Structure 1
Amino acid sequence: MPDNNKELTLSAPLSGPVLSLANVPDAVFASGALGDGIAIDPLNDTLYAPCDGDVIHVARTGHAVTLRADNGAEVLLHLGLDTVELRGDGFTMLVKEGARVSNGQPLLRYDVDKVARRCKSLVSLLVITNGEHFQARPVTLLGVKVGEPLLHIVAKNTGASPANDQDVGLEVSGQVRIAHRGGLHARPAARVRQTAQGFKSRSQLHFGGRSASCDSLMGMMGLAITEQAQVQVSCRGSDAEAALQALLTTLSTALAEETHAPAPAFKPHPHPAEDGVLHGVCAAPGVAVGPLVRLDGIVLPEDAGGHDVEAQRRQLDQALAQVSDEIRLTLDRARTRRNSDEEAIFNAHLALLDDPALLDAARLCIDQGSAATHAWSQSIDAQCRVLQQLGNTLLAERTNDLRDLRQRVLRALLGQTWPFDVPAGAIVAAQELTPSDLLHLCAQGVAGVCMVGGGATSHVAILARGKGLPCLVALGEALLEQQGQTMVLDADEGRLELHPTAERLAQVRQLHAEHAERRARQHALAHTPAQTIDGIHIEVAANVASSADAAQALADGADGVGLLRTEFLFVDRHTAPDEQEQRQRYQAVLDAMADKPVIIRTIDVGGDKQLDYLPLPNEANPVLGLRGIRLAQVQPQLLDQQLRALLQTRPLDRCRILLPMVTEVDELLHIRRRLDALANELGLSERPQLGVMIEVPAAALLAEQLAEHADFLSIGTNDLSQYTLAMDRDHAGLAPRVDALHPALLRLIAQACAGAARHGRWIGVCGALAADPLATPVLVGLGVRELSVSAAQIGEIKARVRQLDAVKCACLSAELLTLSSAAAVRQACHQHWPMG
């Protein structure tokens, strides 16, 4: 029985020799990724309960069972290694989930001969899976018999009893398919951890007969959960139901960056060996020329030992705190720039830095006599081996994130800053670069990067693509033999040319010069109106999220703001912004755009975009649920407050209001009446323009009726694509097929343009299609007269418009509506309007 200090001694569940986890012939268990514990090489055929408790999980293959002891410790009893592969053959489970068991009660029996012949090892595990709350101390490392004392469990002093809020209420569980591309790797696991930490309940993932706490990234990654795999989530505590629903949503919703910028295919170029050329894999496209500079990582000397344990622990804690602060600063900058890729990557780093599997392993090494530097390095190496042995390429690539943390913490321990002074324009070569390395190198103005190893789906590759930095990976060890000479990095073709000729260097520099000249011409003319050859004016506006974005857009030549998403005001806070704050923020955007018009979309939350202070029902299909303008039906005060704030901006004729998710005319009429009433309350005679987003097929089909009552229409091609094609744009497997140049989409766009024209209304596009230069002639030809893009693309899109004949575009676009696929449309666009 546990005493008042929550201590508990577990008895031996099997008879046989006892092993420490470190000596278990399995990398996952040996590393402690699943928790601390002990192992037995069994001599009997029955597994017994090591304590009184409740059965909280039974493996579907009958080889493992998890108990919750009366003191809150969760004890995984796992018979044999790789026994999940036997699919239950040879095992007989004697208890069911939810059952109450007593110390010494039989839990499962197995056929010793059958199982021993077919599994990797009979060595069996007793693991404390919620080790963040408990410490496990072996009573003996000798042989034991069933029922003898084996492991002493002591609650950690965390300031709150793990059995308080987390043990109040029933346990709930649910199943879900993993939506994240490549499975549950670092970034989605960090999102899961973040979600779980928002609740008091204890949450676990169960997959393949194993379990991991949602508090531990390494534990969850150690489950090797693949894309589209079905997992079980269990939550226990006072808010278990809410925690479960939130986790199911997080696990089934792909990260935005997994869909918007798919990684290039990971395949080597099938080139024969060439003298003077190293072949690799393109991780980020582009061509660069410059001197090769090699970067070498930190190499630690041998550990002399004899350290003060407490001093080493303090040094590690201080270094971890310093790196944590540095990462938070990087996160703040990423959020300011609305860079979701960087934000997701460094959020995962922050979570890894706090992972109990890493920290406990490092502190144990210090307790055993290692210096803090060597203890941290050994802890990282152990976790890297775990990921590399899981047989999952994507998870193996995530070892790069762990090595990033190793380098950063080691530098903090050694009192070093970023140690490399790389000249601008250089090509950097390294065994492996990390995400933080890449940010430093970008700040130094390097021309390109290449690595011995790495992969096209690594976080470094994602960042390089976002920075427009050519990146080549998997070049092999021969890369490190090079240094100093000028080279050509042709990532598009997967080549690093070690000894380029003068002619080749001149060719690459000429291409760079032409590209730079073209961009300079486009930028120089960005403030000139975009007008087709036959005199049709196309307004090129900017999509923005803040007044700073608006100021940059104006500097880059924007004709106005085509879409201000107001959600940025409402998310990541515990209370709604009041009317005054909203008015000030909207006014700041209007002020930043000088005399240009600003289109402000009303709040579009609900479904999968939840607000802490606005509880909405969980929905099975959020994108088809309570979102956008539908929210006004259940929360009218939220929209009224926003409309009042918008009505108080000046000058009101430059403020245009855009309504999202409209599906019928009555919705528009209701909001127009509400806008009129609020304007009258404020004593206003003037009204801002009121527009409708065309982002559902119903709105496109009713465009003529909507245009009768709206001042303008704006097509959101991102949502219109997924609703028309019945393909979730956040679905990792389908996202590449959600192409807005599909002829079905073009027909809807054509119908919307025709409907707007009948009432003399202008119509724009603010979705991703507006920023695709290949689509510009199609949209102009169908009747679109405003394109809203990112500030950086304004010059390019305006230059594209100036090359077009609008009448010819109209004739050719009509032909595209008869084609059979998006691929056919794109091919025809290349033929009719070549890029260049």
Structure 2
Amino acid sequence: MHNNKMLTLSAPLSGPVIKLAQVPDEVFSSGVMGDGIAIDPLNDCLYAPCDGVIVHVAKTAHALTLRADNGAEVLLHVGLDTFDLQGEGFQLLVENGAQVSNGQPLLRFDPDYIAQRCTSLISLLVLTNGDLFELQLLEQDTAEAGTPLLQVAARQVEAVVTATGDPGQQALGSVRITHHGGLHARPAALIRQTALGFKSSCRLHIGANSAPCQSIVRLLALGISENDEVHVSCNGEDADAALQAILAVLGKTHVRPSPAPVQAAPAPVRPANKPGQLSGVCAAPGLASGPLYFLSTVQLPPDLGNHVPEQQMQALHSALEQVRAEIRLTLIQARAQGNLDEEAIFDTHLALLEDSELLQASHGVIAQGRSAAHAWSAAIEQQCAILQQLGNTLLAERSNDLRDLQQRVLRALLGERAQCQLPPGAIVAAHELTPSDLLMLSAQNVAGLCMAAGGATSHVAILARGKGLPCLVALGCELLALPAGQQVILDADNACLELTPAAGRIEQVQQSILTRQQRFARQQLQAHEPAVTGDGQQIEIAANVASSHEAASAHAHGADGVGLLRTEFLFVERTTAPNEQEQIAAYQGVVDAMGDKPVIIRTIDVGGDKQLDYLPLPAEANPVLGLRGIRLAQLHPQILDRQLRALLQVSPVQRCRILLPMITEVDELLHIRSRLDALRVELGLSRRPELGVMIEVPAAALMAEQLAEHADFLSIGTNDLSQYTLAMDRDHAGLASRVDALHPALLRLIAHTCAGAAKHGRWVGVCGALASDPLATPVLIGLGVRELSVSPLQIGEIKARVRELDAGMCQTLSQKLLNMSNARSVREACHQYWPLCD
């Protein structure tokens, strides 16, 4: 199988082959440990890829290194972060020093146990002495244990010279190992990378044993544990610098997440089903009644193989171009309507269609004689598997966008066999819908949507809300077992699907829907009138917008102003930051669209789940708690300065208000206020816009009195405030039903904010989702909120709600809610105190 220069490595596992650069671990994906590949295993045994000797076995049994007869050293590493399991779930079948043959079982593991407790099951084969050998991957998408996978070729070099430097210059030092779990593969790779940056020869010593820092395998063989004291010796012209760098790496504490509890991971949390109902999570509010129809995914016909590759390449090219044309038309329509959410989603889809990884993977499968449809489907499935393994909710939802493209291209390839027609008024059910599914269904005038899976923050949920389509997600697999055609009621407002409604109940719902439509029409007639309570308290009802087009719509629907202009629309989906003139034009367009009404413009709020291509941010273990909002602006002051300069030049200045996101302390506010004043003087202006603070972290709410002393107004962002207060990710579909801003803890923070602002005569608004909930309107008024910023379509409804209330009574009853035990109790009390009209 090999000679002095070439060695063939067999696959040690069966499963999809993943490029090293796509492995969700920066040490492996960066190539620090060496070149190699990854496999997402479908079996439970690791096999020897060639003849050789085992030169290192991890004490925790999750990894071992084999030296082939030609000297190539291959690290086999099962799963990511599996060191933390301390050997649980692994059974070694060989010992250190054992001679093994190609295909011999080396290690058995429990895939289910590991998958529940570690980052990923993705396993690695890495060539650790790449200075002497290089890998050549045999083109294939799937590995089968024991079949050829890689070739190892000796590098052609005239001579191998070991640079030892000047032996007269030596530096010695010692350090205690603080890496969690000791010197395993990750820190060993970092030490090697550091040592390679110096000319000196560097070694690590423990007891009587030592190893060169340039060899990962030799470092691992030292068996260094956490808290062991080790010595470092460096010889050469830059010995002192090398020593300090290596000591810094060795002494740096790397905090890793603790292993999960030994019991199986719990299922996603959703309300228990009541008799005759399925409970889920509301993704878009509303009420609908109609027959249940299922939207199935495209079923691939059998592939007998032996296709002509050139013909299949052309078929795929034509289908891709057809889908691109469809998406471009969608984008044109979205831009014409100012629908920025829809535009952003399908801009992403267009970019994904150009992804070289997808195209190369498809071409590779077609070259093997398979059909274009099967090749495209396989390429998408491989990428989805990688995203699903990352354990990140937002990235997992991005896999839904890939499946959308999978279905669209398959429909283009398969023609009429893949088309779907549904009757108007249908309630459409599916395991999970995609954005293009939603646009197709909306055009067919379906009444509502429900999904077995899905999240309340997915792209489909965003589009459903924009289209006014009631939508339920996370209903569970029971949904898919229901008979097609049965009459159901989709009550998204109460997060349930009624399965066997009586004729009287169906008639009641249909009458309720008609009543809602008539009430909406009446509310629109009075939407331009002020919102004043029965006892004379005026409440400003503003709109959340993201463009001048949306601002014009808000003005037409009776908004008293813009309560939140999200400026991210100017910064995302582009390769360079917008210049000052672009920003002035955009902000001025919004102000002009609002006539004589005020406009609150939030400074750039990216970071967390919103990234900029031209402003790469370091990887963060918890980005929602990292560099976002004003923190990012402070790190890159040139971006904020440019935005502040543009905002200062909006006219008239008294109708423009600036809102700062993610403020946590007074010094941050004072710094930005000082910078704003300096820029005003620089531009020769006599006035600056009012400056407000967004209250979206508990620290800001608790410091409201101190912030209000220096701010002109406060605006509460209940979406982020909810997740930070409740310690629940609002993008986590399994927790969506529990992230409720009517939780008493949230209400206490809102009350504290309003009380603190009142001491300095400042007004408080709410621009989060709670402002759009009519059930919450009396609570917010009672706690002291004087401005509510909602979606443009809800302005008439919220104004009508305000007119039904007595502010004094709201204040009295709201205080009772602060002492309740949970959000459910608060909602029940609100229904009792301030019933909603049906």
TM-score, structure 2 as length reference: 0.64
Q: What residue in structure 1 maps to residue 270 of structure 2?
A: 265
Q: What residue in structure 1 maps to residue 657 of structure 2?
A: 656
- Contact (CA 8 Å) 1:362, 1:378: kept in 2 or not? no
Return the match for 1:479 from 480, 483, 493: 483
Displacement of 1:529 after TM fit?
A: 1.1
Partner AA of 2:592 in structure 1? D
- Contact (CA 8 Å) 1:92, 1:109: kept in 2 or not? no
Q: What residue in structure 2 maps to residue 413 of structure 1?
A: 413
The C-alpha deviation readout for 1:537-592, integer Å capped at 9, x for no partner, is 00011122221221121122211011223233234444332221211111011011
User: Cα 1:715–1:293, aligned 2, differ >3 Å: closer, same or farther?
Assistant: closer
Q: How does 1:628-667 map to 2 (within 5 A)?
A: 628-629=629-630, 635-663=636-664, 665=666, 667=668
* CA–CA separation in structure 1 for the residues paired with 2:109 and 2:661: 62
Q: What residue in structure 1 maps to residue 802 of structure 2?
A: 801
Displacement of 1:536 after TM fit?
A: 0.7
Q: What residue in structure 2 maps to residue 602 of structure 1?
A: 603
User: Cα 1:743–1:448, aligned 2, differ >3 Å: closer, same or farther?
Assistant: closer
Q: How does 1:357-376 map to 2 (within 5 A)?
A: 360=361, 363-364=364-365, 367-368=368-369, 370-373=370-373
Displacement of 1:497 after TM fit?
A: 5.2
Q: How does 1:287-686 map to 2 (within 5 A)?
A: 287-290=287-290, 307-323=307-323, 326=326, 337-339=339-341, 360=361, 363-364=364-365, 367-368=368-369, 370-373=370-373, 407-414=407-414, 419-427=419-427, 435-448=435-448, 454-455=452-453, 462=461, 466=465, 468-469=469-470, 474-475=478-479, 479=483, 482=485, 487-490=487-490, 494-496=497-499, 501=503, 503=504, 505-605=506-606, 611=612, 613=614, 628-629=629-630, 635-663=636-664, 665=666, 667-686=668-687
Q: Secondary structure at the match of 1:541?
A: strand
Q: Secondary structure at the match of 2:836?
A: coil
The C-alpha deviation readout for 1:239-291, integer Å capped at 9, x for no partner, is xxxxxxxxx99x99xxxxxxxxx9983876655xxxxxxx8675767653456
User: Cα 1:74–1:106, aligned 2, differ >3 Å: closer, same or farther?
Assistant: closer
Deviates more, 1:322-331 or 1:655-664: 322-331
Displacement of 1:296 after TM fit?
A: 7.6
Q: Percent identity?
A: 53
Q: How does 1:24-423 map to 2 (within 5 A)?
A: 47=48, 49=50, 60-62=60-62, 87-92=89-94, 94=96, 134-136=137-139, 153=151, 265=270, 270-271=275-276, 287-290=287-290, 307-323=307-323, 326=326, 337-339=339-341, 360=361, 363-364=364-365, 367-368=368-369, 370-373=370-373, 407-414=407-414, 419-423=419-423
User: Cα 1:300–1:518, aligned 2, differ >3 Å: closer, same or farther?
Assistant: same
Q: How does 1:683-694 map to 2 (within 5 A)?
A: 683-694=684-695
Q: Secondary structure at the match of 2:785?
A: coil
The C-alpha deviation readout for 1:470-522, integer Å capped at 9, x for no partner, is 56874567735x5xxx9444466544559x75x55533321211122222223
* CA–CA separation in structure 1 for the residues paired with 2:352 and 2:59: 28
User: Cα 1:460–1:659, aligned 2, differ >3 Å: closer, same or farther?
Assistant: closer
* CA–CA separation in structure 2 for the residues paired with 1:127 and 1:618: 22
Match status 1:749 vs 2:746 = no
Partner AA of 1:566 in structure 2? T
Displacement of 1:443 after TM fit?
A: 1.8
Partner AA of 1:803 in structure 2? E
Q: Secondary structure at the match of 1:89?
A: strand
- Contact (CA 8 Å) 2:9, 2:151: kept in 1 or not? no
* CA–CA separation in structure 2 for the residues paired with 1:540 and 1:118: 54
Displacement of 1:683 after TM fit?
A: 3.4
* CA–CA separation in structure 2 for the residues paired with 1:412 and 1:71: 51
Displacement of 1:59 after TM fit?
A: 10
Q: Secondary structure at the match of 1:685?
A: coil
TM-score, structure 1 as length reference: 0.64
Deviates more, 1:614-623 or 1:825-834: 614-623
* CA–CA separation in structure 1 for the residues paired with 2:540 and 2:149: 73
* CA–CA separation in structure 2 for the residues paired with 1:793 and 1:407: 34
Q: What residue in structure 2 maps to residue 241 of structure 1?
A: none
User: Cα 1:643–1:590, aligned 2, differ >3 Å: closer, same or farther?
Assistant: same
Displacement of 1:700 after TM fit?
A: 4.0
* CA–CA separation in structure 2 for the residues paired with 1:652 and 1:126: 59
Displacement of 1:757 after TM fit?
A: 3.0
* CA–CA separation in structure 1 for the residues paired with 2:656 and 2:470: 38
* CA–CA separation in structure 2 for the residues paired with 1:142 and 1:699: 56
Displacement of 1:295 after TM fit?
A: 6.8
User: Cα 1:412–1:117, aligned 2, differ >3 Å: closer, same or farther?
Assistant: closer
* CA–CA separation in structure 2 for the residues paired with 1:573 and 1:687: 30
Q: Secondary structure at the match of 1:577?
A: coil
The C-alpha deviation readout for 1:416-458, integer Å capped at 9, x for no partner, is 598445453344578986653332011221124578xx54669
Partner AA of 1:446 in structure 2? V
User: Cα 1:135–1:333, aligned 2, differ >3 Å: closer, same or farther?
Assistant: farther
* CA–CA separation in structure 1 for the residues paired with 2:482 and 2:834: 43
* CA–CA separation in structure 1 for the residues paired with 2:660 and 2:754: 18
Partner AA of 1:527 in structure 2? H
Structure 2 spans left out of the alignment, 5+ residues = 24-36, 80-84, 113-121, 128-133, 154-178, 182-253, 259-266
User: Cα 1:576–1:803, aligned 2, differ >3 Å: closer, same or farther?
Assistant: same
User: Cα 1:343–1:418, aligned 2, differ >3 Å: closer, same or farther?
Assistant: farther
Displacement of 1:343 after TM fit?
A: 6.2
Q: Secondary structure at the match of 1:339?
A: helix
- Contact (CA 8 Å) 1:287, 1:470: kept in 2 or not? no
User: Cα 1:587–1:355, aligned 2, differ >3 Å: closer, same or farther?
Assistant: closer
Q: What residue in structure 1 maps to residue 7 of structure 2?
A: 10
Displacement of 1:397 after TM fit?
A: 12
Q: Secondary structure at the match of 2:585?
A: helix
Q: What residue in structure 2 maps to residue 764 of structure 1?
A: 765
Q: What residue in structure 2 maps to residue 122 of structure 1?
A: none
User: Cα 1:497–1:643, aligned 2, differ >3 Å: closer, same or farther?
Assistant: same
Partner AA of 2:339 in structure 1? R
Deviates more, 1:775-784 or 1:608-617: 608-617
User: Cα 1:309–1:497, aligned 2, differ >3 Å: closer, same or farther?
Assistant: same
Q: Secondary structure at the match of 1:479?
A: coil
Displacement of 1:593 after TM fit?
A: 0.8
* CA–CA separation in structure 1 for the residues paired with 2:770 and 2:534: 22
Q: What residue in structure 2 maps to residue 220 of structure 1?
A: none
Q: Secondary structure at the match of 2:753?
A: helix
* CA–CA separation in structure 1 for the residues paired with 2:60 and 2:349: 31
Q: Secondary structure at the match of 1:580?
A: helix
* CA–CA separation in structure 2 for the residues paired with 1:689 and 1:116: 62
Q: Secondary structure at the match of 1:582?
A: helix
* CA–CA separation in structure 2 for the residues paired with 1:402 and 1:634: 34
User: Cα 1:760–1:422, aligned 2, differ >3 Å: closer, same or farther?
Assistant: same
Partner AA of 1:438 in structure 2? L
Q: What is the total number of aligned residue pairs between the two structures?
A: 685
Partner AA of 1:789 in structure 2? V
User: Cα 1:745–1:441, aligned 2, differ >3 Å: closer, same or farther?
Assistant: closer
User: Cα 1:507–1:697, aligned 2, differ >3 Å: closer, same or farther?
Assistant: closer
* CA–CA separation in structure 2 for the residues paired with 1:317 and 1:137: 21
* CA–CA separation in structure 2 for the residues paired with 1:154 and 1:511: 71
- Contact (CA 8 Å) 1:48, 1:106: kept in 2 or not? no
User: Cα 1:410–1:660, aligned 2, differ >3 Å: closer, same or farther?
Assistant: closer
User: Cα 1:723–1:380, aligned 2, differ >3 Å: closer, same or farther?
Assistant: closer
* CA–CA separation in structure 1 for the residues paired with 2:741 and 2:411: 47
Displacement of 1:710 after TM fit?
A: 3.4
Backbone CA RMSD of aligned residues:
6.2
Displacement of 1:628 after TM fit?
A: 4.3
Structure 1 spans left out of the alignment, 5+ residues = 14-19, 96-103, 120-124, 145-149, 156-173, 177-247, 253-261, 272-278
- Contact (CA 8 Å) 1:10, 1:151: kept in 2 or not? no
Q: What residue in structure 1 maps to residue 829 of structure 2?
A: 828
